[in-house]
Amino acid sequence: MIEVHHFKVLNSRTGEWETPRAKRTAEDIVKLKGEIIPDTGQMVFRVMLDEEGRYFPVKSGDDDT
């Protein structure tokens, strides 16, 4: 298991903070010069991360049928 977080990063072109849909590990967020959004930590299996180390949370209420 690994902990991932929602985070925000500064868009250098617009000067505005952006929040990606994917969650990442704290280590990856530091590398991206981002900031963790408090209280968004979630434990997931490492295999749930994509090849770039991102975790895309499933939206609650979605119906796959």
pLDDT digits (tens, 9 = 90+) for 1-39: 999 999 999 999 999 999 999 999 999 999 999 999 999
Structural domain total, the chain: 1
The reply to whether 63 falls in a domain is no
pTM for this predicted structure:
0.84
What pLDDT, on a 0 to 100 scale, did the predictor assign at position 58? Answer: 85
Decide if 40 is inside a domain. yes
Range of the domain at 10: 2-48
Question: Does the residue 22 lie in any domain?
Answer: yes
Starting at the earlier edge strand, list the strands of the sheet with 17-18.
Answer: 17-18, 7-10, 35-36
Residue 30 maps to a domain? yes
User: What percent of the chain is helix, strand and coil (3-state, nearest 5)?
Assistant: 15, 30, 60
Query: Does residue 61 register a pLDDT over 60?
Result: no
Is residue 62 a part of any domain in this protein? no
Residue 55 lies in a domain: no
CA distance 41 to 25: 9
Write down the pLDDT at residue 60: 64
Nearest to 12 by CA among 26, 27, 32: 32
CB atoms within 10 A of CB 38: 8
